[in-house]
Structure 1
Amino acid sequence: MPAKLKTCFFIGLFLPQFLFAQSDSLTLHLWPQGAPGFEARANEPEKGDVYISNIHNPSITVYFPPKEKANGAAVVICPGGGHHMLVINSEGRDPARYFNNLGVTAIVLKYRLARDTNSPYQIAVHAKQDALRAMRLVRSKAAQWHIDPNRIGLMGFSAGGEVTNMAAFQDYQSQPAATDPVDRLPAKPAFIILVYPGPLGVPDSIPPDAPPAFLVAANEDVCCSPPIIQLLLAYRKAGVPVEAHVYAKGNHAFNMGYHAVFQSIRAWPQRLTDWLTDYHFFTSAPSIK
């Protein structure tokens, strides 16, 4: 390879990481004093960096896009990890990088893990509570972070998809009588993105006001392609906008497709970009007709 082309190749390879590294970020705990009922555990340290466990003080890390790209949209991302851990790079920071390059503010959620060693938590109670609180907290910061409160989506991978389902279809209304002003805000996402979601949290039916959904999985994924089909049928029955991609190959945990063997899997984020564009999510008036 000629030296000039080789230089361009390596610049192109690392440019997204460079841009991501240059973007501003901050971390906030969901509750200033610690999770309700577990405040005494708030100072216990997390374990790991690539795979995070021992989460007792749930938090969000906010990654801001370059100012010249920012379009006011935002997405809360729930990584997977079987509720034992969080796959924070491939299913948290990588999708955040993808969204930042589109001008979208990305918020990676560290939720409590019900299947971690000696965990006192329950998936349908505490992980769901963390996702709902994250949506409300982000909405409370909308003006400060220059995002549109009506264009905040929720994304989940695998176990994070289960958390997304639990937060997207129930208990997302505002709580006007809450003493905490954050809890007075609605937690309903503008749309959801489910990437090989687990079976938990899939509702029996979809309400007519459910958020539009983008669904993706590999057919050979015996765990997590059935929930995609179930959700697709429920969405169609409810008449709510939905787009589903079920690829023949790819199995589980293909993440953002960067290291996938199959071209179709490598290209799935482009399908998501197309959907978000058609949805007008990058503008001030999102809608699907």
Structure 2
Amino acid sequence: MGSTLALHGLSMETDPLWSARLLHSNPSAIQRVHSDFLDAGAEILVSNSYQASVEGFVRHLGVSSEEALALIGNSVRLAQNAAQNTNKTDILVAGSVGPYGACQNDGSEYTGAHVSGMTDEQLMDWHRPRVKQIVQSGASLLAVETLPAVKEALAVLRLLREFPGTKAWITFSCKDGKHTNAGNDFGSAVQRCCSVGGDALVGVGVNCSCPSLVLPLLESLDGHPGVPPPDIMPRIVYPNSGEIWVAGKGWTSNPAPLEWPVEEWARRGARVIGGCCRVAPSDIKTIAQTVAKINLKNL
């Protein structure tokens, strides 16, 4: 969302709220970007709530807690509005639930540095208001995404027990083909999520990571004890363009044309395939065309 908004002249890479600020200042731009992705062939929209938090909105916008919650709820409604304004059916709206570190404006969502000093209860308490607002706003499911550490993933999954019937996928940000950004073994992290998630967990995988890491990460789940096969627990993949984000500096290079092995990812169990940072609607169009040729249902 944020990098595509930049294509419309709305760059916010140094803003402590990132693209979440536009929920307050320019919500129509957010809905327009959702529509851009739908026009490109997207079937799932992710709400612009990744970097939205009550404390962040109160601190940086000067709004009340109630107004902050309303902004978070509107992130879901903007995606719903875009979906309703298209002739496509069965569009899902996934409510984005980013890590605690994403709202600290220090890049710690890419290291997991924030997690070691927090208890499970503290993590649950921090996530609860946003999760509750997203659920009450009618999101189809939750995209619990870009998590660097399994500890936070498990805390969110335990929190979901307070919201019966809510579904979610969990995706980790990863630093190599075996480990999350916090250094957790990826296969073991997924296994622990599967053991805790119960009926709420409907998918596991990787996002906001280098595309070259996707295949080895998927392969590490094949036959891993305690990780159900893809037909039972679908794999979710939506990597970045391949560039690297450096806190205080931004993206290290300009995006290159995507040449992703989408078909191979699908054969390894990926059933939701998309893009994260610096992946534009034109890239999603290419992915959608490839997925249409593959016919995921027959794999």
Normalising to structure 1: TM-score of the pair? 0.43
Instruction: Indicate the structure with greater helix content.
Output: 2
| Greater relative contact order (CA < 8 Å, ≥ 6 in sequence) | 2
Normalising to structure 2: TM-score of the pair? 0.42
Indicate the structure (1 or 2) with the bigger Cα radius of gyration: 1
